[in-house]
Chain A
Amino acid sequence: MDSEMETIEQGVLGHLMALERGGMGQQDQQESQRLEMLKIRAMSLRAKRDQLKHQTDAVKILKDKISKDLPLADGDAAGGFTELKKSLLTAWRMQLKDLQRAHHLIGGYDLVECKEGKSVCVSFHTAFEGVYLETYNMELDLTRTVQISRHNIPPSFPLESFAKQNLQKDLKTFLQTLNQNLNALAARRQQVCLLKELVGSVEVMESNQLCNILVLMCTAQGETPKAVLCTLEYGDLTQCLPTRVSIECEDKTLSESPQWKKNQSLLLESPAHAALLTMRRMGSIA
């Protein structure tokens, strides 16, 4: 009986030990697999690094040769010469891509020919005070006459009238006019966003899609705070500053005061959000 128990115990223990060994073996297996993978990855990275180092050194030597005005084709093995040309062409390609990006960043039209030259796509990039805003796109069909086939310019924008003026006779002028007007629109719109964000105490009573009118309600500081209505009219849609500013207040002495005459000038000469921030800083408004 005892021996039977012993055998059973041995069996159970043995079984448990076998299981343990087996488990560890799997872990071991997994570990060694992972190790293998890491080893392989390290090896391939090392190879890549070495290749890169070799290339980088070759490029540096190339640069040196070019600086010293040495002949590039140095009687190298054909393979070497190809490598050289490859590096140069790669450099040239990089420079060309940089130039493309530069044109893009300075507000170029990024003109792209589509449909084998039957149409072109242009982009109008807008920005205000260094912040890039919306980009509008347009496809122009060039088959018989120049036609606008697709665009994402807001419907309130007088695209048709600009097209009528210039599209057929002078494409560049058409693009320039659109560019100017779209940028002015983006600038006016951005000013409204900025003033809502930065000058929470001022309420926008009226504004529209074309942002050619802006009515603001400010609270004038004083013994009793008074409501002042500022109406900014943007008569010139190529500009982001108003052409007319009127100040209205129940208290006529306030609206006629030198302080508010000054505020009126501020609103005429600087972007709305900047003017209001100044007015707040000077204690004129809340």
Chain B
Amino acid sequence: MEQKYEEEIQMLEQEIEMLEAEQEETLRSIFIEHGDRLQQELKSVCEERGGAQKHALSKLITEVRELEKDLRRQTEINGIALNECFVKTLHKSERKLVQQLRLAGHCSVLLFQVEFAVTEIQEDDALLRRVTELNIVVDGVEFKDFSAFVSRFPIWRKSRLHNRLHNIKVVEDTKDLLLFFRTLRTFSERCEERRQTFQHFQEKYPDVVSLPEGCRSELMIIRSPQLPGISMTIFWKIDVSMEGVIKPRLELLLKIPDQAREFDTKKVTENGSEYFQSLLRILGVEASIEGLIRTVCL
């Protein structure tokens, strides 16, 4: 008799656990698929005040408001915006938690998608956590420079030109999730600096400066309409090493027509790029570029 009850109790407890997990999953999936729309609808609910009906929900509403506020704070300080977040709990027990997460978002204009699995084990008073799988997809014109760094992760890079996923050879599978985001942030900042500088010069000297591949690309051409055939191309690359070291690298390419070469007694075309490097060291990027532009503004 007792045993019958004990068995039933055990069965019920398992059922309850399953139902709770199922409910959680369904709720999560509702938000994954329809989050935006629902947020719109619920915003009105949250903004309404008073009413007996609302009292039951007011605690939830306050919680949601607080969480939204906190999320805005985290997004701002971390410099990473997460648009999508799928969490799947594969295993949950008193001492162990295994989850799979799929995140999509952007860091300034750089888009990323990250899939990873994390295992947490509670050992005495320490929590051991490790990333057990990691896959990364990045998208953006700027990621052309990212190749050495991305080779350490299993990364697929979307190429706008070819419109398919390139599987980049994995050199080292290190699952360094935090390194990826740290590097992404810094890389994004360097790209933004470049974009702002290029855009600034194009706006200031629209006749002379052109950005044939847009302001997010790595090249800027300086050409004066009064000096046909002469052009100065600045390549502003942002190298990312395998260890995540980010180094902006500027190079100058000078072109003058063949007839003009005769007059180039000081060998400017040959040494121009070196002179530019010296200029960069002394004056810095903005002043050096401005200097170059001024030379063709007759």
Binding site for B on A (CB under 8 A): 31, 34-35, 38-39, 41-42, 45-46, 48-49, 52-53, 55-56, 59-60, 62-63, 66-67, 72, 78, 81-82, 85-103, 105-111, 113, 122, 125-132, 172, 175-176, 179-180, 183, 238-241
Contact A42 to B177, CB < 8 A, known contacts A63-B29, A95-B85, A98-B28:
no
Q: Is the CB of A99 within 8 A of B71?
A: yes
Nearest Cβ in chain A — how far from B117, in angstroms? 10
Interface residues of B in 27-56 (CB under 8 A from A): 27-35, 37-39, 41-42, 45, 53, 56
The winner among B114, B128, B130, B178 for most chain A CB atoms within 10 A is B178
Q: Is the CB of A106 within 8 A of B103?
A: yes
Binding site for A on B (CB under 8 A): 1-2, 5-6, 8-9, 12-13, 15-16, 19-20, 22-24, 26-35, 37-39, 41-42, 45, 53, 56-57, 60-61, 63-64, 67-68, 70-71, 73-75, 77-80, 82, 85, 87, 101, 103, 114, 118, 128-132, 134, 174-179, 181-182, 185-186, 243, 245
Contact A66 to B34, CB < 8 A, known contacts A90-B60, A93-B67, A102-B85:
yes
Residues of A within 8 A of B70 (CB): 100
Which of B33, B74, B176 is A128 in contact with, Cβ under 8 Å? B176
Contact A63 to B176, CB < 8 A, known contacts A46-B12, A183-B182:
no
Q: Is the CB of A87 within 8 A of B27?
A: yes
Residues of B within 8 A of A113 (CB): 73
Q: Is the CB of B38 within 8 A of A88?
A: yes
Residues of A within 8 A of B134 (CB): 130
Q: Is the CB of A101 within 8 A of B178?
A: no
Q: Is the CB of B82 within 8 A of A52?
A: no
Which of B6, B9, B181 is A106 in contact with, Cβ under 8 Å? B181
21 A-B pairs whose Cβ atoms sit less than 8 Å apart in the complex: A42-B12, A59-B30, A66-B38, A89-B45, A89-B60, A95-B85, A99-B82, A100-B74, A103-B71, A106-B78, A109-B74, A109-B77, A113-B73, A129-B176, A130-B130, A130-B134, A131-B129, A132-B129, A176-B182, A180-B186, A239-B245
Nearest Cβ in chain A — how far from B60, in angstroms? 4
Q: Is the CB of B130 within 8 A of A131?
A: yes
Once bound together, how far apart are the Cα atoms of A106 and B134, in whole Å? 12
Our count of residue pairs bridging A and B at CB distance below 8 angstroms stands at 199
Once bound together, how far apart are the Cα atoms of A42 and B179, in whole Å? 51
| Closest Cβ neighbor of A101 among chain B residues | B87
Q: Nearest 4 A-B pairs (CB), nearest first?
A: A130-B175, A107-B178, A91-B27, A38-B5
Q: Is the CB of B177 within 8 A of A106?
A: yes
Once bound together, how far apart are the Cα atoms of A102 and B71, in whole Å? 11
| Closest Cβ neighbor of B52 among chain A residues | A78
Nearest Cβ in chain B — how far from A129, in angstroms? 5
Residues of B within 8 A of A62 (CB): 30
Dominant SS at the A interface? helix
Q: Is the CB of B16 within 8 A of A96?
A: no
Nearest Cβ in chain A — how far from B262, in angstroms? 47
Nearest Cβ in chain A — how far from B247, in angstroms? 12
Nearest Cβ in chain B — how far from A17, in angstroms? 26
Which of A93, A99, A183, A240 is B178 in contact with, Cβ under 8 Å? A183
Residues of B within 8 A of A39 (CB): 5
Q: Is the CB of B178 within 8 A of A106?
A: yes
Nearest Cβ in chain B — how far from A236, in angstroms? 8
Contact A59 to B20, CB < 8 A, known contacts A45-B13, A179-B182:
no
| Closest Cβ neighbor of B13 among chain A residues | A45
Residues of B within 8 A of A106 (CB): 78, 80, 103, 114, 177-178, 181
Apart from A94-B27, A106-B181, A111-B77, 17 more pairs, CB < 8 Å? A38-B6, A41-B9, A46-B12, A59-B26, A63-B26, A91-B28, A92-B35, A92-B42, A94-B28, A95-B32, A98-B85, A106-B103, A106-B178, A108-B77, A110-B74, A129-B176, A132-B128
